[in-house]
Structure 1
Amino acid sequence: MSDWKPRRFWTEAAAVPVTGGYTVHLDKRPVKTPAKAPLVVPTEALAQALAAEWDAQEAQVNPATMPLTRTANSAIDKVAVQRAEVADMLAAYGDADLLCYRAETPAELVAQQAAAWDPVLDWAEGDLGARLSPRAGILHAPQDPAALATLSARVHALDPFELAAFHDLVALTGSLVLGFAAFLTTWSADEIWELSRLDERWQEAQWGVDDEARQIEALKRAAFDDARRFLTLLHR
C-alpha cells in the first residue's frame, strides 16, 4: 500500500452490511483492497472502526494512519491466498519461543526470567494443551513434537483475518505463546508487552536507556496494540 495515496474525495464513510459481512462505503461507493477485491470484514464493529479510519483522513489518504484497514487488506489480499503457509510460519515460532531461551548468567537475570516466564508457560500447558520447556543458552534445542503439533493445529484453525493480526502479535513479541496470550486472555497489553521486553529492560538497567531503541520500540508497541484491537473488534 506504500504507493496508494489518493486524495480524499468523499464526505462521509459508513459501515454497510453486505453479503458475507460488512464493508465501508465512501459516499455510497464501496471500498476495495489494493488488489481490487471487495473490502468485506466479518463484524460490524470492525467495519465501523475501518470507517472511522477513512473518516479521519484529510486532504490525502495516509495509510500509515489506517492500521486496521491495512490489516484487513492484508487478510484479504495476502493471507487468504496463502493461509497454510502463513500458519506454518507462525507455528514455527513455537520451536524457538522467546520464553524458552533463558540466560545462563547472571543469577539475577536467570531468576527474573524464571519468575516472569515460567507462569506463562504454565498457562500455555493448561489452556493451550502444550508444554514448552525452557533451556539455558541460545543454541536451538527442539521442543516436544506433540506440543508443537498442538500449537500448530491451533494456529491453522485461525481464519485469514485472525491470522493477519495474530502474525503481528507473534512477530512483535517473538513468542507464539505470548501471541496466544494476547489473543485469548484478558491480560493487559502492558503486561504482555513487558514480558516480551524483559531482556531489553535488564540491559537498560545495566547500561541505561537507548533513546533510539526506545523510539523503535514505541512503533512496535503501537503495532502490537493495533493488532490486539483488530482481534477484539473481530470478535465483537
Structure 2
Amino acid sequence: MHTGEPKTPQARTGRANQKLRTRRALVQAAVELMRTGRDVTMLEVATSALVSEATAYRHFPDLPSLLQEAMAGQMPTPAEALASVADSRDPVERIAVATEHLLRLVLTYQGATRAMIAATITRPEAAGARPAMRFGLIDHALAPLDDTLGATDPAAVTRLKNDLAAVVSAEALFCLTDLCRLGPEEAIASVVRTATTLTRAALSGDEPIGGRPVAQH
C-alpha cells in the first residue's frame, strides 16, 4: 500500500513550528481574556485564537492547565509585590500589603480565578494547576519571623501560615462579595483586617481557640 513520501526534516520542522505558534496563540488569547475579568472558557479562548476547541484541547488537557501557563510571567514575584514594605520588619504591616495585593489581583483576573477554583473543587487532583500565589506571598511577608518567633517556636509560625492560607485567598474574598454581599473594597478591607488580626495574635502569643490556648490575663 502506497503511503506517500516520508516527511522531510523541513516538513517536520514546519509542523513543529505550527504547533508552537498555535500554542502561543492560545496562551496569548487566554492572557487577553483573563485581563477582562470576565468568565473564561476553553471555547472562548479557542475562538479568540482562531482555532477549534478540539485543537485547544490537543494542546492543553483542561482549562486550568491553560490558565496556569497564561498566568506564568504575568504576576509579580513576592518581592516585587511587597516592594513598598521591603524595609519593614513588621510582619503585621507586611501581611496587610501581601493580602491586599493578592485580592486586587483576584479581582483583576476574577473570571479566570473562578474558573480555576471551580475546576479544582470538582477535580481535587487538579489542584496543582492553580498558581497558589498566596503561599509565596505569605512566606515572604513573614520572613522577618525567621530570626524571632521562627527560631523559638517554629510550630507557631507554621500554624500562622496555615491560618493565613485560609484567609489570604480568593475563596475568602468571594465569600464576602458573593454571600455577604459586600462591595469589593469593603471585602478587601475585611480580609486584610482578619489577616492582620491573626498575625498580631500569633506574635503576642494570644492565638485563637484551635491553636494554642488563649493566654489568660
Shorter-chain TM-score tier: under 0.3
Please state which structure has a larger fraction of its residues in helix: 2
Instruction: Give the TM-score normalised by the residue count of structure 1.
Output: 0.22
For the pair shown, the structure with the greater C-alpha radius of gyration is 2
Instruction: Give the TM-score normalised by the residue count of structure 2.
Output: 0.23
Please state which structure has a larger fraction of its residues in strand: 1
